[in-house]
């Protein structure tokens, strides 16, 4: 097989619609855009939600209630299986150790450990939150789970 024997898959190549190439082309003169108006101009179009000058729906509806999105705590979540892979036996795992491994970047209000995975090493976990299954697996392997002191 040689390069000149290759061809694209059927239907992969289509001829382009040739706009404005004379009235007899079927797409000539106004190039399928009608006569004049906003949509006939180059760079035409309106932004999402624009209703032709009418007050848009997102401004007509009342804004009520409270949204906690800006004020929520950012919690870094890890599984015990990940920690077992990354840290040696007897290691003390706290937020600083997780940042050292590159697992936490930027602002973080709390660290929570979940119980997905297996624990084969005993390590000391110093986090604010740990699920019951994570706590059980770590203590079963001979480790400890404590809360950080102020």
Is the residue at 38 inside a domain?
no
Partners of residue 111 on adjacent β-strands: 76
Whether 36 maps to a domain, the answer reads no
pLDDT number for residue 112: 94
Residue 5 lies in a domain: no
- The tally of domains found in the chain comes to 1
In a domain, 100, yes or no: yes
In 3-state terms the chain splits into helix, strand, coil percentages (rounded to 5) of 25, 15, 65
- Please compute the mean of the pLDDT values over residues 117-139 and round it to a whole number: 94
The 10s digit of each residue's pLDDT in 55-89 is: 999 999 999 999 898 899 999 999 999 998 999 99
Largest CA-CA distance found in the chain, in angstroms, rounded: 84
In a domain, 141, yes or no: yes
Domain, as residue range, for 117: 75-146
4 occurs within a structural domain:
no
pTM for this prediction = 0.56
How large is the average pLDDT for residues 15-41? 90
Q: What pLDDT, on the 0 to 100 scale, is given for residue 150? A: 64
- If you average pLDDT over residues 111-135, what whole number do you get? 94
Q: How far is CA 26 from the centre of its chain?
A: 45
Reply yes or no on whether the pLDDT at 45 is more than 90.
no
Alpha-carbon gap, residue 145 to 126, rounded angstroms: 6
Residue 11: band (very low, low, confident or very high) from pLDDT cuts 50, 70, 90: very high
Q: Which CATH number covers residue 106? A: 3.100.10.10
Give domain status of residue 87, yes or no.
yes
Please report whether residue 22 resides in a domain. Answer: no
* Tokens standing for residue 7: 């061809």
Q: What is d(CA 42, CA 5) in angstroms, rounded to the nearest whole number?
A: 42
Which of 132, 126, 115, 130 is closest to 81 using CA atoms? 115
* Of 134, 33, 32, residue with least CA distance to 81: 134
């Amino acid at each position: 097989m040689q390069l000149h024997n290759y061809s694209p898959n059927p239907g992969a190549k289509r001829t382009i619609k040739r706009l404005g190439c004379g009235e007899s082309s079927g797409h000539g003169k106004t190039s399928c855009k009608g006569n004049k108006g906003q949509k006939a101009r180059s760079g035409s179009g309106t932004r999402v939600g624009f209703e032709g000058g009418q007050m848009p729906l997102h401004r007509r509806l009342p804004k009520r209630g409270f949204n906690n999105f800006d004020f929520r705590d950012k919690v870094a979540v890890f599984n015990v299986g990940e920690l077992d892979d990354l840290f040696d036996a007897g290691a003390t795992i706290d937020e600083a150790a997780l940042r050292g491994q590159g697992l936490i970047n930027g602002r973080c209000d709390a660290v929570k450990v979940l119980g997905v995975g297996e624990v084969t090493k005993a390590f000391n976990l110093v986090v604010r939150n740990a699920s019951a299954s994570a706590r059980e697996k770590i203590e079963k392997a001979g480790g400890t789970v404590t809360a950080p002191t102020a």
